[in-house]
Structure 1
Protein backbone atom coordinates (compact mmCIF):
# COMPACT_ATOMS: atom_id res chain seq x y z
CA UNK A 1 0.00 0.00 0.00
CA UNK A 2 1.56 3.33 -1.04
CA UNK A 3 -0.19 5.32 1.68
CA UNK A 4 0.87 4.33 5.22
CA UNK A 5 -1.68 2.90 7.64
CA UNK A 6 -1.67 4.71 10.97
CA UNK A 7 -3.29 3.73 14.26
CA UNK A 8 -4.16 6.21 16.99
CA UNK A 9 -5.94 5.90 20.33
CA UNK A 10 -7.86 8.41 22.43
CA UNK A 11 -10.31 8.04 25.31
CA UNK A 12 -10.54 4.28 24.90
CA UNK A 13 -11.16 4.38 21.15
CA UNK A 14 -8.73 3.04 18.54
CA UNK A 15 -8.75 4.77 15.15
CA UNK A 16 -7.63 3.74 11.68
CA UNK A 17 -6.08 6.34 9.34
CA UNK A 18 -4.63 6.17 5.84
CA UNK A 19 -1.71 8.56 6.11
CA UNK A 20 -3.79 11.49 7.36
CA UNK A 21 -5.92 12.60 10.30
CA UNK A 22 -9.08 11.52 8.45
CA UNK A 23 -10.67 8.58 10.30
CA UNK A 24 -11.18 5.45 8.19
CA UNK A 25 -12.53 3.37 11.05
CA UNK A 26 -12.82 3.18 14.81
CA UNK A 27 -13.28 0.66 17.62
CA UNK A 28 -14.02 1.17 21.30
CA UNK A 29 -11.38 -1.10 22.78
CA UNK A 30 -13.53 -2.56 25.55
CA UNK A 31 -16.55 -3.04 23.21
CA UNK A 32 -15.02 -4.22 19.92
CA UNK A 33 -18.33 -5.52 18.49
CA UNK A 34 -20.13 -2.20 18.81
CA UNK A 35 -20.46 0.33 16.01
CA UNK A 36 -18.55 3.38 17.15
CA UNK A 37 -18.92 5.68 14.15
CA UNK A 38 -22.34 7.11 13.48
CA UNK A 39 -22.43 6.35 9.76
CA UNK A 40 -21.79 2.64 10.37
CA UNK A 41 -24.78 2.63 12.70
CA UNK A 42 -26.93 4.26 10.03
CA UNK A 43 -25.87 1.70 7.44
CA UNK A 44 -27.35 -0.93 9.74
CA UNK A 45 -30.78 0.61 9.20
CA UNK A 46 -30.72 -1.98 6.42
CA UNK A 47 -31.63 -4.55 9.06
CA UNK A 48 -34.97 -2.82 9.64
CA UNK A 49 -36.07 -3.02 6.01
CA UNK A 50 -36.84 -6.74 5.74
CA UNK A 51 -38.87 -8.59 8.36
CA UNK A 52 -37.77 -12.14 7.59
CA UNK A 53 -36.53 -13.73 10.82
CA UNK A 54 -33.14 -14.86 9.48
CA UNK A 55 -32.48 -12.06 6.98
CA UNK A 56 -29.86 -11.43 5.69
CA UNK A 57 -28.22 -14.80 5.13
CA UNK A 58 -25.65 -13.78 2.49
CA UNK A 59 -23.86 -10.45 2.87
CA UNK A 60 -21.32 -8.67 0.64
CA UNK A 61 -19.18 -5.90 2.09
CA UNK A 62 -17.15 -3.71 -0.26
CA UNK A 63 -14.37 -2.16 1.81
CA UNK A 64 -13.18 -3.50 5.17
CA UNK A 65 -11.67 -0.53 7.04
CA UNK A 66 -11.56 -1.30 10.76
CA UNK A 67 -13.99 -4.23 10.23
CA UNK A 68 -16.75 -2.52 12.25
CA UNK A 69 -19.64 -3.63 10.02
CA UNK A 70 -18.12 -7.09 9.61
CA UNK A 71 -17.82 -7.65 13.36
CA UNK A 72 -21.30 -6.35 14.12
CA UNK A 73 -22.95 -8.59 11.53
CA UNK A 74 -20.78 -11.56 12.46
CA UNK A 75 -21.93 -11.27 16.08
CA UNK A 76 -25.59 -10.31 15.69
CA UNK A 77 -26.47 -12.23 12.53
CA UNK A 78 -24.98 -15.62 13.44
CA UNK A 79 -26.63 -17.40 10.51
CA UNK A 80 -25.12 -15.04 7.95
CA UNK A 81 -22.18 -15.73 5.65
CA UNK A 82 -20.05 -12.66 4.94
CA UNK A 83 -18.03 -12.00 1.80
CA UNK A 84 -15.64 -9.05 2.14
CA UNK A 85 -13.79 -7.49 -0.79
CA UNK A 86 -10.88 -5.28 0.25
CA UNK A 87 -8.36 -3.99 -2.26
CA UNK A 88 -5.44 -3.54 0.15
CA UNK A 89 -4.00 -6.63 1.89
CA UNK A 90 -2.38 -4.39 4.54
CA UNK A 91 -5.84 -3.22 5.61
CA UNK A 92 -6.88 -6.83 6.22
CA UNK A 93 -3.74 -7.50 8.25
CA UNK A 94 -4.32 -4.32 10.27
CA UNK A 95 -7.96 -5.22 10.95
CA UNK A 96 -6.89 -8.62 12.25
CA UNK A 97 -4.04 -7.32 14.39
CA UNK A 98 -5.53 -4.11 15.80
CA UNK A 99 -9.31 -4.33 15.36
CA UNK A 100 -10.17 -7.93 16.29
CA UNK A 101 -11.40 -9.08 12.90
CA UNK A 102 -12.60 -12.67 13.53
CA UNK A 103 -10.71 -15.58 11.99
CA UNK A 104 -13.50 -17.82 10.73
CA UNK A 105 -13.12 -19.26 7.24
CA UNK A 106 -16.54 -20.94 7.45
CA UNK A 107 -18.47 -17.69 7.81
CA UNK A 108 -16.06 -15.04 6.50
CA UNK A 109 -14.78 -15.17 2.93
CA UNK A 110 -12.06 -12.54 2.53
CA UNK A 111 -11.20 -11.49 -1.01
CA UNK A 112 -8.23 -9.23 -1.75
CA UNK A 113 -9.30 -7.38 -4.86
CA UNK A 114 -11.16 -4.50 -6.46
CA UNK A 115 -14.78 -4.26 -5.33
CA UNK A 116 -16.05 -2.94 -8.65
CA UNK A 117 -14.33 -5.72 -10.57
CA UNK A 118 -15.76 -8.30 -8.18
CA UNK A 119 -19.41 -7.33 -8.59
CA UNK A 120 -18.98 -6.90 -12.35
CA UNK A 121 -17.58 -10.42 -12.61
CA UNK A 122 -19.55 -12.50 -10.12
CA UNK A 123 -22.78 -14.43 -10.60
CA UNK A 124 -23.41 -14.83 -6.86
CA UNK A 125 -26.49 -13.38 -5.17
CA UNK A 126 -26.54 -11.49 -1.88
CA UNK A 127 -29.31 -10.42 0.48
CA UNK A 128 -27.38 -7.36 1.65
CA UNK A 129 -24.63 -5.37 -0.06
CA UNK A 130 -22.79 -2.71 1.95
CA UNK A 131 -20.58 -0.30 0.02
CA UNK A 132 -18.06 1.64 2.10
CA UNK A 133 -14.85 1.92 0.09
CA UNK A 134 -12.67 5.04 -0.14
CA UNK A 135 -9.05 5.96 -0.71
CA UNK A 136 -7.02 8.27 1.52
CA UNK A 137 -8.64 11.28 -0.18
CA UNK A 138 -12.18 10.06 0.59
CA UNK A 139 -12.78 9.27 -3.08
CA UNK A 140 -14.74 6.11 -3.97
CA UNK A 141 -13.54 5.86 -7.58
CA UNK A 142 -15.42 3.24 -9.61
CA UNK A 143 -17.47 2.34 -6.53
CA UNK A 144 -19.59 5.39 -7.37
CA UNK A 145 -20.36 4.70 -11.01
CA UNK A 146 -23.46 3.64 -12.90
CA UNK A 147 -21.95 0.34 -14.13
CA UNK A 148 -20.97 -0.56 -10.56
CA UNK A 149 -24.45 0.10 -9.16
CA UNK A 150 -26.05 -1.77 -12.05
CA UNK A 151 -23.81 -4.73 -11.24
CA UNK A 152 -24.77 -4.49 -7.57
CA UNK A 153 -28.42 -4.67 -8.53
CA UNK A 154 -27.80 -7.80 -10.56
CA UNK A 155 -26.10 -9.34 -7.50
CA UNK A 156 -29.08 -8.83 -5.18
CA UNK A 157 -31.52 -11.57 -4.25
CA UNK A 158 -35.29 -11.09 -4.40
CA UNK A 159 -35.08 -9.77 -0.83
CA UNK A 160 -31.90 -7.83 -1.57
CA UNK A 161 -30.96 -4.43 -0.14
CA UNK A 162 -27.93 -2.26 -0.88
CA UNK A 163 -26.63 0.45 1.46
CA UNK A 164 -23.97 2.93 0.32
CA UNK A 165 -21.93 5.43 2.31
CA UNK A 166 -21.71 8.52 0.10
CA UNK A 167 -19.23 10.39 2.30
CA UNK A 168 -16.55 12.27 0.43
CA UNK A 169 -18.64 13.12 -2.59
CA UNK A 170 -19.51 16.55 -1.16
CA UNK A 171 -21.51 18.32 -3.86
CA UNK A 172 -21.49 15.07 -5.77
CA UNK A 173 -23.73 13.29 -3.26
CA UNK A 174 -26.82 13.94 -5.35
CA UNK A 175 -24.91 13.00 -8.49
CA UNK A 176 -23.86 9.72 -6.91
CA UNK A 177 -27.39 9.08 -5.74
CA UNK A 178 -28.60 9.79 -9.29
CA UNK A 179 -26.49 6.82 -10.46
CA UNK A 180 -28.17 4.66 -7.84
CA UNK A 181 -31.64 5.85 -8.86
CA UNK A 182 -30.89 5.05 -12.50
CA UNK A 183 -29.42 1.64 -11.75
CA UNK A 184 -32.36 0.64 -9.55
CA UNK A 185 -35.16 2.20 -11.62
CA UNK A 186 -35.91 4.80 -8.92
CA UNK A 187 -36.16 2.20 -6.15
CA UNK A 188 -33.78 4.03 -3.83
CA UNK A 189 -33.95 6.37 -0.87
CA UNK A 190 -31.42 8.92 0.41
CA UNK A 191 -31.51 9.29 4.18
CA UNK A 192 -30.91 12.72 5.74
CA UNK A 193 -27.21 13.37 6.33
CA UNK A 194 -25.80 12.22 9.66
CA UNK A 195 -24.57 14.95 12.00
CA UNK A 196 -21.08 13.62 11.13
CA UNK A 197 -21.67 14.55 7.49
CA UNK A 198 -22.10 11.09 5.99
CA UNK A 199 -25.06 10.43 3.73
CA UNK A 200 -26.38 6.89 3.43
CA UNK A 201 -28.38 5.71 0.43
CA UNK A 202 -30.50 2.56 0.33
CA UNK A 203 -31.72 0.70 -2.76
CA UNK A 204 -33.54 -2.56 -3.30
CA UNK A 205 -34.40 -5.24 -5.80
CA UNK A 206 -37.31 -7.62 -5.85
CA UNK A 207 -40.09 -7.45 -3.27
CA UNK A 208 -41.35 -3.95 -2.47
CA UNK A 209 -40.31 -2.43 0.84
CA UNK A 210 -43.36 -0.69 2.30
CA UNK A 211 -43.10 -0.15 6.07
CA UNK A 212 -45.00 2.19 8.37
CA UNK A 213 -42.65 4.35 10.46
CA UNK A 214 -44.21 3.02 13.66
CA UNK A 215 -43.38 -0.51 12.56
CA UNK A 216 -39.83 0.64 11.82
CA UNK A 217 -39.60 2.03 15.36
CA UNK A 218 -40.80 -1.30 16.75
CA UNK A 219 -38.13 -3.10 14.74
CA UNK A 220 -35.52 -0.57 15.92
CA UNK A 221 -36.43 -1.19 19.55
CA UNK A 222 -36.06 -4.94 19.03
CA UNK A 223 -32.66 -4.43 17.39
CA UNK A 224 -31.59 -2.19 20.28
CA UNK A 225 -32.60 -4.83 22.81
CA UNK A 226 -30.69 -7.49 20.89
CA UNK A 227 -27.51 -5.60 20.02
CA UNK A 228 -27.44 -2.28 21.86
CA UNK A 229 -27.60 -0.38 18.55
CA UNK A 230 -30.04 2.52 18.83
CA UNK A 231 -31.47 3.58 15.47
CA UNK A 232 -34.37 5.56 16.91
CA UNK A 233 -32.52 8.90 16.37
CA UNK A 234 -32.07 7.93 12.70
CA UNK A 235 -35.78 7.23 12.34
CA UNK A 236 -36.59 10.51 14.08
CA UNK A 237 -34.49 12.44 11.54
CA UNK A 238 -36.13 10.50 8.74
CA UNK A 239 -39.57 11.41 10.06
CA UNK A 240 -38.71 15.09 10.48
CA UNK A 241 -37.31 15.25 6.93
CA UNK A 242 -40.76 14.21 5.63
CA UNK A 243 -39.17 11.90 3.08
CA UNK A 244 -41.67 9.14 3.80
CA UNK A 245 -45.06 9.83 2.24
CA UNK A 246 -47.97 9.09 4.62
CA UNK A 247 -45.39 8.13 7.27
CA UNK A 248 -44.48 5.04 5.24
CA UNK A 249 -41.02 4.15 4.01
CA UNK A 250 -41.36 2.82 0.48
CA UNK A 251 -38.57 1.60 -1.76
Structure 2
Protein backbone atom coordinates (compact mmCIF):
# COMPACT_ATOMS: atom_id res chain seq x y z
CA UNK A 1 0.00 0.00 0.00
CA UNK A 2 1.35 3.40 -0.93
CA UNK A 3 1.93 6.10 1.66
CA UNK A 4 -0.81 8.25 0.09
CA UNK A 5 -3.34 5.42 0.34
CA UNK A 6 -2.28 4.75 3.94
CA UNK A 7 -2.77 8.40 4.85
CA UNK A 8 -6.25 8.35 3.31
CA UNK A 9 -7.14 5.19 5.21
CA UNK A 10 -5.91 6.64 8.51
CA UNK A 11 -7.84 9.84 7.86
CA UNK A 12 -11.03 7.87 7.21
CA UNK A 13 -10.52 5.87 10.41
CA UNK A 14 -10.04 9.08 12.44
CA UNK A 15 -13.16 10.59 10.89
CA UNK A 16 -15.15 7.45 11.74
CA UNK A 17 -13.90 7.52 15.33
CA UNK A 18 -14.77 11.22 15.63
CA UNK A 19 -18.28 10.68 14.25
CA UNK A 20 -18.85 7.76 16.60
CA UNK A 21 -17.61 9.79 19.56
CA UNK A 22 -19.86 12.68 18.57
CA UNK A 23 -22.81 10.33 18.26
CA UNK A 24 -22.15 8.97 21.74
CA UNK A 25 -21.90 12.52 23.11
CA UNK A 26 -25.19 13.56 21.51
CA UNK A 27 -27.08 10.49 22.72
CA UNK A 28 -29.40 11.30 25.64
CA UNK A 29 -28.05 10.21 29.00
CA UNK A 30 -30.76 9.06 31.40
CA UNK A 31 -30.31 10.45 34.93
CA UNK A 32 -33.58 9.49 36.57
CA UNK A 33 -36.79 7.57 35.91
CA UNK A 34 -39.85 7.68 38.13
CA UNK A 35 -43.42 6.42 37.80
CA UNK A 36 -46.18 9.01 37.59
CA UNK A 37 -49.86 9.23 36.69
CA UNK A 38 -48.81 10.34 33.20
CA UNK A 39 -46.32 7.52 32.61
CA UNK A 40 -42.60 7.25 33.31
CA UNK A 41 -41.13 10.64 34.20
CA UNK A 42 -37.63 10.87 32.77
CA UNK A 43 -34.75 13.23 33.48
CA UNK A 44 -31.92 13.17 30.96
CA UNK A 45 -29.06 15.21 29.56
CA UNK A 46 -28.31 15.86 25.91
CA UNK A 47 -26.33 18.50 24.00
CA UNK A 48 -25.53 20.44 27.15
CA UNK A 49 -29.13 20.51 28.38
CA UNK A 50 -30.96 18.74 31.19
CA UNK A 51 -34.57 17.95 30.36
CA UNK A 52 -37.70 16.45 31.85
CA UNK A 53 -40.22 14.52 29.79
CA UNK A 54 -42.78 11.75 30.04
CA UNK A 55 -42.15 8.34 28.49
CA UNK A 56 -39.51 9.29 25.88
CA UNK A 57 -36.13 11.01 25.68
CA UNK A 58 -36.62 11.57 21.95
CA UNK A 59 -39.90 13.49 21.98
CA UNK A 60 -39.48 17.10 20.84
CA UNK A 61 -42.36 18.24 23.06
CA UNK A 62 -40.30 18.18 26.25
CA UNK A 63 -41.79 19.39 29.51
CA UNK A 64 -38.80 21.40 30.74
CA UNK A 65 -35.14 21.98 29.90
CA UNK A 66 -32.27 23.96 31.39
CA UNK A 67 -28.83 24.72 29.99
CA UNK A 68 -26.19 23.16 32.23
CA UNK A 69 -23.70 25.96 31.52
CA UNK A 70 -26.29 28.64 32.36
CA UNK A 71 -29.31 27.20 34.21
CA UNK A 72 -30.97 30.62 34.55
CA UNK A 73 -31.19 31.17 30.79
CA UNK A 74 -34.63 30.24 29.45
CA UNK A 75 -34.39 27.48 26.84
CA UNK A 76 -37.93 27.52 25.45
CA UNK A 77 -39.43 30.47 23.58
CA UNK A 78 -42.79 30.07 25.29
CA UNK A 79 -41.24 30.65 28.73
CA UNK A 80 -39.63 33.85 27.45
CA UNK A 81 -43.00 34.88 26.05
CA UNK A 82 -44.74 34.21 29.38
CA UNK A 83 -42.10 36.19 31.25
CA UNK A 84 -42.75 39.17 28.97
CA UNK A 85 -46.08 39.55 30.80
CA UNK A 86 -43.99 41.52 33.29
CA UNK A 87 -44.19 44.34 30.75
CA UNK A 88 -47.77 44.82 31.95
CA UNK A 89 -46.81 44.79 35.64
CA UNK A 90 -43.08 44.77 36.49
CA UNK A 91 -43.66 44.48 40.24
CA UNK A 92 -46.28 41.84 41.07
CA UNK A 93 -46.43 41.05 44.78
CA UNK A 94 -48.25 37.73 44.49
CA UNK A 95 -47.97 35.19 41.67
CA UNK A 96 -49.75 31.88 41.10
CA UNK A 97 -48.31 29.31 38.68
CA UNK A 98 -50.50 26.33 37.75
CA UNK A 99 -48.21 23.63 36.37
CA UNK A 100 -44.74 23.52 37.94
CA UNK A 101 -42.81 21.39 35.43
CA UNK A 102 -39.11 21.95 35.98
CA UNK A 103 -39.87 25.23 37.84
CA UNK A 104 -38.38 27.29 35.03
CA UNK A 105 -40.91 30.10 35.44
CA UNK A 106 -40.93 29.95 39.23
CA UNK A 107 -37.13 30.18 39.46
CA UNK A 108 -36.91 33.00 36.92
CA UNK A 109 -39.60 35.03 38.66
CA UNK A 110 -37.96 34.48 42.06
CA UNK A 111 -34.80 36.12 40.70
CA UNK A 112 -36.45 38.99 38.83
CA UNK A 113 -39.24 39.82 41.30
CA UNK A 114 -37.46 39.07 44.59
CA UNK A 115 -40.18 40.52 46.82
CA UNK A 116 -43.04 38.51 45.34
CA UNK A 117 -44.68 35.48 46.91
CA UNK A 118 -44.79 32.75 44.27
CA UNK A 119 -47.29 29.93 44.75
CA UNK A 120 -46.90 26.94 42.43
CA UNK A 121 -49.54 24.25 42.04
CA UNK A 122 -48.56 20.85 40.63
CA UNK A 123 -50.88 17.87 40.41
CA UNK A 124 -48.14 15.24 40.05
CA UNK A 125 -45.86 14.69 43.09
CA UNK A 126 -43.20 13.07 40.90
CA UNK A 127 -42.82 16.30 38.92
CA UNK A 128 -42.34 18.30 42.11
CA UNK A 129 -39.75 15.80 43.31
CA UNK A 130 -37.79 16.03 40.06
CA UNK A 131 -37.98 19.84 40.04
CA UNK A 132 -36.31 19.91 43.45
CA UNK A 133 -33.71 17.24 42.76
CA UNK A 134 -32.63 18.17 39.25
CA UNK A 135 -33.88 21.68 38.35
CA UNK A 136 -32.82 23.83 41.33
CA UNK A 137 -36.33 24.43 42.67
CA UNK A 138 -36.30 25.26 46.38
CA UNK A 139 -39.71 25.62 48.05
CA UNK A 140 -39.81 27.94 51.02
CA UNK A 141 -41.62 30.97 52.48
CA UNK A 142 -41.44 32.83 49.14
CA UNK A 143 -41.63 29.80 46.87
CA UNK A 144 -44.65 27.91 48.15
CA UNK A 145 -45.57 24.56 46.62
CA UNK A 146 -49.03 22.94 46.64
CA UNK A 147 -49.63 19.41 45.36
CA UNK A 148 -53.16 19.75 44.04
CA UNK A 149 -55.33 20.00 40.96
CA UNK A 150 -55.10 23.54 39.59
CA UNK A 151 -58.84 24.09 39.39
CA UNK A 152 -59.46 22.78 42.90
CA UNK A 153 -56.76 25.13 44.20
CA UNK A 154 -58.34 28.12 42.44
CA UNK A 155 -61.77 27.24 43.87
CA UNK A 156 -60.32 27.06 47.37
CA UNK A 157 -58.40 30.31 46.87
CA UNK A 158 -61.67 31.99 45.88
CA UNK A 159 -63.40 30.68 49.01
CA UNK A 160 -60.52 31.97 51.15
CA UNK A 161 -60.59 35.41 49.49
CA UNK A 162 -57.05 35.13 48.15
CA UNK A 163 -55.96 37.46 45.36
CA UNK A 164 -53.02 37.35 42.99
CA UNK A 165 -51.46 40.05 40.86
CA UNK A 166 -50.47 37.45 38.27
CA UNK A 167 -51.74 33.96 37.43
CA UNK A 168 -49.81 31.77 34.98
CA UNK A 169 -51.46 28.72 33.40
CA UNK A 170 -48.90 26.21 32.13
CA UNK A 171 -50.60 22.89 32.87
CA UNK A 172 -50.57 20.15 30.23
CA UNK A 173 -51.38 16.48 30.26
CA UNK A 174 -50.06 14.04 27.67
CA UNK A 175 -52.19 15.54 24.88
CA UNK A 176 -52.99 19.18 25.67
CA UNK A 177 -54.38 21.46 28.35
CA UNK A 178 -56.80 19.55 30.61
CA UNK A 179 -60.32 20.48 29.54
CA UNK A 180 -61.40 21.66 32.99
CA UNK A 181 -58.65 24.31 32.82
CA UNK A 182 -59.98 25.87 29.59
CA UNK A 183 -63.66 26.53 30.21
CA UNK A 184 -65.59 29.75 30.75
CA UNK A 185 -66.40 28.62 34.27
CA UNK A 186 -62.75 28.03 35.16
CA UNK A 187 -61.59 31.35 33.69
CA UNK A 188 -64.30 33.14 35.65
CA UNK A 189 -62.95 31.52 38.81
CA UNK A 190 -59.42 32.64 37.91
CA UNK A 191 -60.66 36.17 37.26
CA UNK A 192 -62.28 36.21 40.71
CA UNK A 193 -58.89 35.67 42.40
CA UNK A 194 -57.08 38.31 40.34
CA UNK A 195 -56.44 41.65 41.97
CA UNK A 196 -57.73 44.76 40.18
CA UNK A 197 -55.67 44.97 36.95
CA UNK A 198 -54.28 41.52 37.77
CA UNK A 199 -52.90 39.58 34.82
CA UNK A 200 -53.68 36.10 33.50
CA UNK A 201 -51.06 34.43 31.30
CA UNK A 202 -51.88 31.16 29.55
CA UNK A 203 -49.58 28.96 27.47
CA UNK A 204 -51.44 27.41 24.51
CA UNK A 205 -50.63 26.06 21.04
CA UNK A 206 -50.77 28.02 17.79
CA UNK A 207 -51.82 24.88 15.92
CA UNK A 208 -54.52 23.84 18.39
CA UNK A 209 -57.80 22.78 16.81
CA UNK A 210 -59.42 24.76 19.64
CA UNK A 211 -57.64 28.03 18.74
CA UNK A 212 -60.77 29.97 17.81
CA UNK A 213 -62.79 28.54 20.68
CA UNK A 214 -60.04 29.41 23.14
CA UNK A 215 -59.98 32.96 21.78
CA UNK A 216 -63.75 33.29 22.06
CA UNK A 217 -63.72 31.86 25.59
CA UNK A 218 -61.01 34.21 26.87
CA UNK A 219 -62.68 37.18 25.18
CA UNK A 220 -66.01 36.25 26.76
CA UNK A 221 -64.48 36.41 30.24
CA UNK A 222 -61.83 39.12 29.88
CA UNK A 223 -62.63 41.11 26.75
CA UNK A 224 -59.79 41.92 24.39
CA UNK A 225 -56.42 40.39 25.27
CA UNK A 226 -52.87 40.24 23.96
CA UNK A 227 -51.72 37.41 21.73
CA UNK A 228 -48.01 36.67 21.97
CA UNK A 229 -47.25 34.15 19.27
CA UNK A 230 -44.24 32.27 17.98
CA UNK A 231 -44.23 28.47 18.08
CA UNK A 232 -46.72 28.60 20.96
CA UNK A 233 -49.42 31.14 21.66
CA UNK A 234 -49.37 32.91 25.01
CA UNK A 235 -52.60 34.66 25.94
CA UNK A 236 -52.22 37.67 28.25
CA UNK A 237 -55.50 38.99 29.67
CA UNK A 238 -56.16 41.63 32.30
CA UNK A 239 -58.76 41.99 35.03
CA UNK A 240 -59.27 45.56 33.90
CA UNK A 241 -57.97 47.62 30.99
CA UNK A 242 -55.11 46.51 28.76
CA UNK A 243 -52.13 48.90 28.96
CA UNK A 244 -51.11 50.77 25.82
CA UNK A 245 -47.95 50.13 23.80
CA UNK A 246 -46.01 53.01 25.35
CA UNK A 247 -46.51 51.47 28.80
CA UNK A 248 -45.23 48.12 27.56
CA UNK A 249 -42.16 49.77 26.01
CA UNK A 250 -41.44 51.76 29.18
CA UNK A 251 -41.66 48.71 31.42
CA UNK A 252 -39.72 46.51 29.00
CA UNK A 253 -36.89 49.04 28.85
CA UNK A 254 -36.70 49.19 32.65
CA UNK A 255 -36.63 45.38 32.88
CA UNK A 256 -34.11 44.82 30.09
CA UNK A 257 -31.04 44.56 32.40
CA UNK A 258 -32.75 41.71 34.28
CA UNK A 259 -34.40 39.96 31.35
CA UNK A 260 -31.56 40.08 28.81
CA UNK A 261 -29.32 37.65 30.78
CA UNK A 262 -32.08 35.02 30.78
CA UNK A 263 -32.43 35.25 26.99
CA UNK A 264 -35.24 37.77 26.47
CA UNK A 265 -34.60 40.30 23.70
CA UNK A 266 -36.58 43.50 24.27
CA UNK A 267 -37.35 44.39 20.64
CA UNK A 268 -38.11 40.82 19.61
CA UNK A 269 -40.41 40.16 22.55
CA UNK A 270 -42.33 43.41 22.06
CA UNK A 271 -42.81 42.64 18.38
CA UNK A 272 -44.73 39.48 19.29
CA UNK A 273 -47.51 41.40 21.08
CA UNK A 274 -50.71 41.80 19.06
CA UNK A 275 -54.26 42.57 20.09
CA UNK A 276 -56.69 39.67 19.77
CA UNK A 277 -59.29 39.80 17.03
CA UNK A 278 -62.91 39.88 18.08
CA UNK A 279 -64.13 36.30 17.48
CA UNK A 280 -67.30 35.63 15.52
CA UNK A 281 -70.45 35.20 17.56
CA UNK A 282 -70.95 31.77 16.04
CA UNK A 283 -67.72 30.42 17.57
CA UNK A 284 -68.84 28.14 20.44
CA UNK A 285 -67.41 28.82 23.87
CA UNK A 286 -65.61 26.15 25.86
CA UNK A 287 -67.80 25.31 28.82
CA UNK A 288 -67.65 22.65 31.50
CA UNK A 289 -70.44 20.61 29.93
CA UNK A 290 -69.43 21.10 26.29
CA UNK A 291 -65.64 21.08 26.43
CA UNK A 292 -64.31 18.28 24.19
CA UNK A 293 -63.24 15.14 26.04
> Equivalences for 1:1-251 in 2 at 5 Å?
1-2=36-37, 3-20=39-56, 21=59, 22-50=61-89, 55-103=91-139, 105-122=140-157, 123-167=161-205, 170-184=208-222, 186-191=223-228, 193-194=229-230, 197-206=231-240, 208-213=241-246, 215-228=247-260, 229-238=264-273, 243=275
SS of the residue corresponding to residue 63 of structure 2 reads: strand
Partners of 1:161 and 1:45 in 2: how far apart? 12
SS of the residue corresponding to residue 178 of structure 1 reads: helix
Could you tell me the TM-score, scaled by structure 2's length?
A: 0.74
- CA displacement 1:41-68 (0-9 Å, x = unmatched): 00112100136xxx20000000001110
RMSD, aligned CA: 2.0
Could you tell me the TM-score, scaled by structure 1's length?
A: 0.85
> Is this contact kept in 2: 1:190–1:200, CA < 8 A?
yes
- CA displacement 1:84-105 (0-9 Å, x = unmatched): 11000000000011111024x2
> Is this contact kept in 2: 1:217–1:232, CA < 8 A?
no
> Structure 1: which 5+ runs fail to align?
246-251
Partners of 2:212 and 2:54 in 1: how far apart? 26
> Is this contact kept in 2: 1:169–1:176, CA < 8 A?
no
Q: Which is worse superposed, 140-149 or 165-174?
A: 165-174
Aligned length: 232
> Is this contact kept in 2: 1:33–1:75, CA < 8 A?
no
> Structure 2: which 5+ runs fail to align?
1-35, 278-293
Partners of 1:29 and 1:204 in 2: how far apart? 35
SS of the residue corresponding to residue 272 of structure 2 reads: helix
Partners of 1:231 and 1:127 in 2: how far apart? 23
Partners of 1:138 and 1:16 in 2: how far apart? 17
